[in-house]
Homo-oligomer: A and B are copies of this chain.
């Protein structure tokens, strides 16, 4: 931690900060510059230390040196994590393809679609039973009935089920049916939920909050990892920016950046990331070229009549084309799909 004093900070203020840093168990070292004095605080830089030091008299700003996350960091865990659930494996050479409808609408729908997608190369099945909706007047999902339909689809196809859980008290129920518990972007900082998912022992697919920084994203993962659940998949799903021609802005540089800072696998959601069916295929290919460990894609037999998210959903036929195109790109970056 580097404490930068104001240009007019007094010797007393510097001394006070030195004592304060010592009282926190760190070792202070004072550097007198041409215009400013800075104090380096050497030792374990726990999260939140900056905000403790910043209100000090004569302090201008505090600059952290170490990353605030530990278990998610590639500094301490150097071996890359590979998350496995049934036949779904995320983080190895083979790129995962998780596909399915936004909402589970009926057993016939989800089972039929699962068979189709499996035949096309999907390795996981997504589908919402609990739907977080911006409006209380929108369709909220079939809840446990939806989960049962997903379980049936798994029985019929062997595909691992990836589905969202929205509240801590639902975790046991969702964990009973699902293979991977998805935490949605709106819940990335719902800490009770993160802990409950951590405690469930099930693999977690954690979506980046729509305005989360990388530190916040990895600290959210830390909440799960900290419950001794090592199976966390990070999912870049687009951030909110001033851009309005896409639903969100999908920043693919986060893929190699996260893979450098963390040992956790990273998947990309080009459906939410763009909000436009037409952009899903090019951004899927781009995600793979950037190094993504998997894709999660919304597919529906009849997007025009989907109960949610129709405009970003592609048809099975489009998905088949996307898979063929993505396989070629995967090979060009020494991966398989």
Complex Cα distance A288/B75, Å?
Answer: 31
Task: Write 30 A-B pairs (CB below 8 A) sorted by A numbering.
Answer: A2-B63, A2-B65, A29-B31, A32-B42, A34-B44, A35-B66, A40-B40, A47-B135, A51-B310, A52-B305, A55-B303, A55-B304, A55-B306, A55-B313, A56-B304, A134-B219, A136-B226, A167-B167, A169-B169, A213-B243, A242-B242, A246-B253, A246-B257, A250-B253, A253-B273, A286-B286, A289-B289, A289-B329, A325-B333, A329-B333
Complex Cα distance A255/B33, Å?
Answer: 30
Complex Cα distance A38/B288, Å?
Answer: 36
Residues of B contacting A154 in the complex (Cβ-Cβ under 8 angstroms): none
Q: A55-B311, A243-B251, A257-B276 are in contact. List 8 more A-B contacts (CB 8 A).
A: A40-B40, A47-B135, A134-B219, A135-B219, A187-B190, A211-B211, A252-B286, A253-B273
Establish whether residues A34 and B42, one from each chain, have CB atoms under 8 Å apart when the complex forms.
yes
**Partner pick for A138 among B34, B48, B303, CB 8 A cutoff:** B48
> How does the 8 Å CB contact mask read for A257-279 relative to B, with 1 for contact and 0 for none?
10010000000000001101111
Q: If the complex has contacts A4-B65, A136-B222, A282-B255, are A241 and B241 also in contact, measured as CB distance less than 8 A?
A: yes
Of A135, A249, A310, chain B has the most CB atoms within 10 Å of the CB of A135
Instruction: State the Cβ distance, A223 to closest chain B Cβ, in Å.
Output: 5
Establish whether residues B55 and A36, one from each chain, have CB atoms under 8 Å apart when the complex forms.
no
Establish whether residues A134 and B283, one from each chain, have CB atoms under 8 Å apart when the complex forms.
no
**Partner pick for A245 among B42, B134, B214, B332, CB 8 A cutoff:** B214
Tell me how many chains of this kind the complex includes.
4
